[in-house]
Structure 1
Amino acid sequence: MGLNMREGYQGTGPGAITPDGCAVELYARLPVGSEPDIVAAAVPAGAHILELGCGVGRVTHPLLRRGFTVTAVDESPQMLQRVRGARTICSPIEQLDLGETFDVVMLASFLVHAGDAEVRRGLLRTCARHVAQDGCVLIQREGADYHTDLPRERVDPSGFTVRILSAEPVGDGVDSVRAEYVFPDATWTQTFLSRPLTGEQFEEALEEAGLQTDRCLTDDGTWVRAVRRQGS
């Protein structure tokens, strides 16, 4: 078990576990999805991207191959050891203040749904603090039925199964979500806190940080492009 676990977060399985319950060896195995395509279609070619919560570089590396410059941030040094070709910074996202701005700030992995509302505010303030005046923030949200279509599973073509087993209310609008990843030779679990956000609540959270939605990047609304609010 990793040290200094965040309250309400845990993980099991081989290898190091990060403070939010992610298993480093698991994320080193997971294939990249559509994220690089979504990002590339939404931002200028060659942009400098601040990737918040980069993990092992699953998305970082494809973005680098596409010609983007990436500054990759994660609170886990074990995760950052797997990142190649990018500037890396080890820090909790909500505490980050680099004193510089970027063409693009990316907050993926449903981090905006942090169970602790103060952490969420810190994450979005970090996004706003680091995005250039004419830049953008790319945010990944949960799908509308993420907490209700349960249990569910997906068998990946590469040969593993991911299951979202449960989402149990723990108070103050927060759920404790339990996920399981089953490979032929190993199984990992992660338990984490997640706060569902309605469209109105999401926009209010952006506004509080001085941001606003520019447009949705996917048909299901799970990826959003945000910009600075006028006057912010």
Structure 2
Amino acid sequence: MFTADGCSVEVYRLLPPGDEPGIVHAAIPEGASILELGSGAGRVTHALLDLGHPVVAVDDSPEMLAHVRAETVCSKIEELRLGRVFDAVLLGSHLVNTADDADRAAFLATARAHVAPGGRVLVEWHPPEWFESVRDGQGGRIGEVDVRLGQVVRDGDLLSAVVRYSAGDRWWPQAFTCRRLAVPALEAALAETGLAFEGWRAGDRTWFTAVPA
């Protein structure tokens, strides 16, 4: 089963949470409430629940949300308006690197609208150096899933590729296009939606926090 944007529900159920829950947990207070934008099947959600955080999981795929053991909201991120705020808003999956500038602004605006005063927005992104290093065949094993990139094409600041997920004798392709953002462009995109860059939350600069400006 695939979602509208080409994600395999089965793959996202197989993938382990990885380092993401620990990065998020270290950046916010104990028991902080979290709004997770683009939760998928709960890969990170469930680990955050285990760490003591109440989570509201948002995704536009009911097939993904059917596997989430938390409060869920089926909605596109850009259309979400809950009328509630949270101690932390999580925008993972490199969504900020979307090729569409309007989508990026809408994602960040939703995050800003739902973060409490004094709260934080946690964002996962592809830093500029990642775009320089990407090559066909690059990847590795994540839990029981092998992940490999192929058909890498660069066009200015845009990079397109196909991810091939495989587990046992099963495999699933997923195409994507993302945009390289220099740090000044990132800071400008945050500022346009009322957020300010706060700091890096991972040594490889793949996660950062932003706060209400």
- TM, length-normalised to structure 2: 0.94
Runs of 4 or more consecutive aligned structure 1 residues displaced over 4 Å after TM superposition: none
Q: Which 10-residue stretch deviates more, 152-161 or 185-194?
A: 152-161
Residue in structure 2 matching 1:194, options 153, 156, 178: 178
Q: CA deviation at 1:170?
A: 5.7
1:217 equivalent to 2:198? Answer no
- Two-structure CA RMSD over aligned residues (Å): 1.5
The total of aligned residue pairs comes to 212
Q: CA deviation at 1:120?
A: 0.8
1:121 equivalent to 2:105? Answer yes
Give a deviation string over 1:145-188, Cα, whole Å, max 9, x none. Answer: 433321143332634321111332467x4332211112112001
With over 3 angstroms needed to count, the CA separation of the structure-2 counterparts of 1:195 and 1:98, relative to structure 1, is: same
Give a deviation string over 1:84-121, Cα, whole Å, max 9, x none. Answer: 1x110000001111111110000000000111111111
Q: CA deviation at 1:25?
A: 0.5
- Quick one: percent identity of the two aligned structures? 43
Contact kept in structure 2, 1:153 and 1:161, CA below 8 Å: no
1:1-232 correspondence runs (5 A) = 16-84=1-69, 86-148=70-132, 149-156=134-141, 158-169=143-154, 173-229=157-213
Q: CA deviation at 1:200?
A: 1.0
For 1:3, the equivalent position in structure 2 comes to none
- TM, length-normalised to structure 1: 0.87
Point out the structure with the larger helix share.
2
**Distance in 1 (alpha carbons) for counterparts of 2:11 and 2:144:** 13
**Distance in 1 (alpha carbons) for counterparts of 2:118 and 2:152:** 38
Letter in 1 for 2:101: A
SS in 1 for 2:126: coil
SS in 2 for 1:18: coil
